Amino acid sequence: MNMIKGLLVSATLVTSSLPVVSFAQETTVNMINPLPRSTVFYPLVVGEALGYFADEGIKVNLLPSDTSIPYVAFIQNGQADLSMLDPNETINALNAGAEISTVYEVMQNAPEGVAVLSGGTYKTMSDLIGTTVGLVSDRDRAFLQAALDVTGHSIDDVNTVVLGESGPTLAAAIRDGKVSAISGSVFDWAGLQAAGIALDLITPDELLASPANTFAINTNMIEEKRAAMEGFLRAWSKGMYVSMVNPAVVETMLRQAVPEEWEDEASGLSLLAGVLPMNISTTPRLGDVQSQVWTDIQPRMLTSGAIEKIVDVSTFLNDTYIAAANDFDKAKVEADAAAWAKSNK
């Protein structure tokens, strides 16, 4: 009995730890974020499909983790090289003494927002007074508070209930009118809309300019990891660029790489349509860090209790990799995409 167990154990141990045969110069970049390879962050998929990461000698080791885990801690102890953080997490981490720098903005349009059912009875923030608003998680209360503050109300004017991240629960809550609106982010409504639940975002304009999902790195590692990071961000930017010129090929790549999100054609397309504008940078240089935006958003984060102290943006915003990340031949990228499309018809 014991011998059989022993054999099974060693067999499993061996097969599950078989290293991928890697060629000489390959560096592994460990990236921690909330989702596995997904349509929502398609630049990764596109970059890998066209071999851009491999060209830079990089193998991306994605570490998708639940958000109850403090991502920043893993940048601190080196288990992750890059982490996707949003402004709340970044400022809180800095206030807690973490030495991190924000080096690239993945999504420059605030994916956070307040959503209501399309064509329903609630059309503005004021309509929500006295109703129950759903929160995707505890942390979304701060955003709701900011949205209410900005429109002249207060968080005490509404009831809140935490709904959790599970798709069906959110869908049922808004569809059946159990909540008047949901305060959450693109992760949450992309799925809902893709499944045919039409939502309108009633987020106040003042709150729309907010970078979300930015890449943060351990400040002490900026020079040491320069080569790997610049390569990674360049491949990511190239992936983003492909979607700016040839979204059709992005669709095909996603269908191959993440079939589970494309089992239903229509919902896959709807999901992609929703996340395309989020992933495409609005700044002239892709992924550029926007100091003014970061400075502007902090006061309302302070008043809504999301952060304890305002942090000077020059202490953590760092565009040192941006130039290199944008240093690529756009025409070549377009050609690569077209060639890929042809050979993957």
> Is position 5 an interface residue for another protein (rule: CB under 8 A)?
yes
3-state secondary structure (DSSP) of residue 105:
strand
- Which CB atom, from 48 or from 89, has the smaller least distance to another protein? 89
CB 160 within 8 Å of CB 107: no
Q: Which residue has the tokens 């060209």?
A: 55
Q: Please give the Cα distance from 116 to 276 (Å, whole number).
A: 21
> Is position 163 an interface residue for another protein (rule: CB under 8 A)?
yes
Residue ranges in 164-223 that form contacts with another protein under rule CB under 8 A: 164-169, 171-172, 175, 187, 191-192, 194-195
Q: Name which position in 49, 50, 98, 107 contacts another protein (CB under 8 A).
A: 98
CB 272 within 8 Å of CB 39: yes
CB 70 to another protein: min, Å: 5
Q: Please give the Cα distance from 314 to 316 (Å, whole number).
A: 6
Q: Please give the Cα distance from 239 to 44 (Å, whole number).
A: 7
Q: Please give the Cα distance from 193 to 284 (Å, whole number).
A: 30
CB 103 within 8 Å of CB 318: yes
Give the binding-site size for another protein (rule: CB under 8 A).
Answer: 65
Q: Name which position in 264, 312, 327, 329 contacts another protein (CB under 8 A).
A: 264
CB 148 within 8 Å of CB 133: no
Q: Name which position in 29, 49, 92, 125 contacts another protein (CB under 8 A).
A: 92
> Is position 9 an interface residue for another protein (rule: CB under 8 A)?
yes
* Piece of 42-50, 144-152, 257-265, 319-327 that binds another protein (CB under 8 A): 257-265
> Is position 244 an interface residue for another protein (rule: CB under 8 A)?
no
Q: Please give the Cα distance from 10 to 4 (Å, whole number).
A: 10
* Piece of 86-94, 198-206, 280-288, 323-331 that binds another protein (CB under 8 A): 86-94
Q: Name which position in 182, 271, 311, 313 contacts another protein (CB under 8 A).
A: 271
* Piece of 60-68, 207-215, 228-236, 316-324 that binds another protein (CB under 8 A): 60-68
* Piece of 87-95, 145-153, 227-235, 241-249 that binds another protein (CB under 8 A): 87-95
Which residues, including other chains, have CB under 8 Å from residue 24's CB and lie 6 or more apart?
none
Estimate the crossing angle of helix 42-49 against helix 265-279, to 10 degrees.
100
Strand-strand pairing, 82-85 and 27-33: parallel
Task: Point out which residues bind another protein (CB under 8 A).
Answer: 5, 8-9, 12-13, 15-17, 30, 32, 35-36, 38, 62-70, 72-74, 76-77, 79-80, 89, 92-93, 95-98, 137-139, 160-169, 171-172, 175, 187, 191-192, 194-195, 258-261, 263-264, 267, 271
